Structure 1
Amino acid sequence: MAPKKYQLKELMKATGGFSLQNKLGEGGFGMVYKGILGNNKEVAVKRVSKNSRQGKQEFIAEVTTIGSLHHKNLVKLIGWCYESKELLLVYEFMPRGSLDKYLFNQSSELEVQYSKVLDWKTRNGVIRDVAQALDYLHNGCEKRVLHRDIKASNIMLDIFYNGKLGDFGLARTIQKRNETHHSTKEIAGTPGYMAPETFLTGRATVETDVYAFGVLVLEVVCGKRPGNMYAQDDYKNSIVYWVWELYGKGEIISAVDKRISYEENEIERVKWEEEEEEVDIERVKLEEEIEIVLILGLACCHPNPNQRPSMKTVLMVLNGEVSPPNVPLERPAFVWPAMPSSFKEGEDNSLINGTLTPFTQLSGR
């Protein structure tokens, strides 16, 4: 069912006139408010900044892109409103908020509701949820979609802490189903999640989405922010560089968020004595599982796009169907040109609506 067109007065009433008491957060181009519609349905209403040209572009992109998508791991766009210069987007309400609020230590008393530490089972589930959403965008819907802004703050959690990918303001639909890339003169995305080739080519590809997913995997497991790189060779302050260094030393498991308690995973702990060492079988199994996910994250963050796994392969690894890709102990140098396996020179790079090319400065959204 297509998103509904709402009247401004309906959404004004639902949000209490966009009351600050109903404010849920602030995005790159507007505020988000909690609203209650006439049928007592809870929603989230994004109010796009009136004077933002980029915001208007995002508004159109959201309506034209996510409005036609349907997947359990995508935040559902319920409706929209364009009236009296107001641009409003209405989404399903996600009661647990965004993932980033649970991953990083919060200092504000206002964030006490997000003080819950997500256990490994929940984190692993969210990673799988996002992988399913991306596989759908890349391979499962009628027209291939590139999200272009995968990050923890764009992952929303429902009441059961299931993950849903949201914020399609930078997303673009590929005109031909067998195409996998989109060219632009402007760089879109968030520093720390952007693949190194993006800074040289300006192209968004399925591989650049995979790279951002890999960074997301690392921060979910490690509970660390991704870092903020401005050049493709400046990785020493990034989570990718840090985890890769530990991997090369054989210490990758030490990257795991120390707040994750094994007891929280309700594991039946079985121990026995072997050569005077106490061995926790279930803990070893759990660490092996976490290590596989970390290595998968590094594989997705390979500097060269043609070495990154597809989202189909990612899902197979997460489901235990195949082993993770081989990852070198030392992070390879970024070499260009190294065209993505999906990229074919000479293809028509145009989008369904090529005029909608939002720009996100390197300082982030």
Structure 2
Amino acid sequence: MSVLLEVRGLRTAFHTSRGKAQAVRGVDLTVKPGEILGIVGESGSGKSVTCMSVLRLLKRAGRIEGGEVLFGGRDLLTLSEGQMSDIRGSDIGVIFQDPMSSLNPTLTVGEQVMEVILRHRGGGKAAARARTIELFEMVRIPSAATRIDAYPHEFSGGMRQRAMIAIALACEPKLLIADEPTTALDVTIQKQILSLIKELQGRLGMAVLLITHDLGVIAEAADRVMVMYGGMVMEEGPVARIFAAPRHPYTQGLMASVPDPRTAGEGRLAPIPGSPPDMMQPPAGCPFAPRCPAAMNVCDAEAPQLYAAGAAHRSRCWLMDPDAPQQGGAA
């Protein structure tokens, strides 16, 4: 199967008054047509910055300092802003984390969907309005023909997120980037939104890059998962394989800190001790070493490569090295 999106050696930093924060440090990833890749990790791990770098939507202080972002064979980092504007909303759709702050409160929701259609497809306002009603029905916004003229504050949180999905899908993109699409929603609405994204992904045949801190979302929706920490990829592979046999101590720690409904009330959760690294001065070695129960001397000195851990499964851990001692030993 061909590759739709390929990121090679991406490095992104934020230049601040305190110095340079190295938010993304040499990230590689691939997304195939029709695939859902989930990116998971704690806040500050580099998930959203990676995807905003792909879209070239970084805040003013953010700079892409190296790497390639190949989309359909074209390096997006070499395109002009005008060329990128043609791709955003057309070939690549995006659902942002907070729909209330992403929608313009002074325009009707329908106008905001129509704006995308007219910008990328043309065809006149009547055709754009008809297409918007069709999209509202597709994402299951009730009474679509009348709700098209409502303002964002007249929609519930779940309906606003559905409207954001309609905007993202207006031009039937090849790739949908969903940045924490269920964070601000209650559990019932979360499940509805995830089911809707999966259904539309299957119907339209698009690829999805799903960013989340919630392993439950990954289990529900993704085909493959990429675990990030300290601006680096710690582990990646098929969802079923990683959930059954995680190889990186960070992935194991994430899973141990999630409540299991089958054992509710039996013992306490096991949180990961310590704090994420300071990206102003990222460690020379493995970024997880200060918090890792299996850390060795080499972990502080040098960052490991991504080692093969099975079919399409890789882990960035010195414990995977053929010469590594048993877990808990010293280098």
**TM-score of the aligned structures, taking structure 2 as reference length:** 0.28
If each structure's strand is expressed as a fraction of its own residues, which one has the higher value?
2
TM-score, normalization: structure 1?
0.26
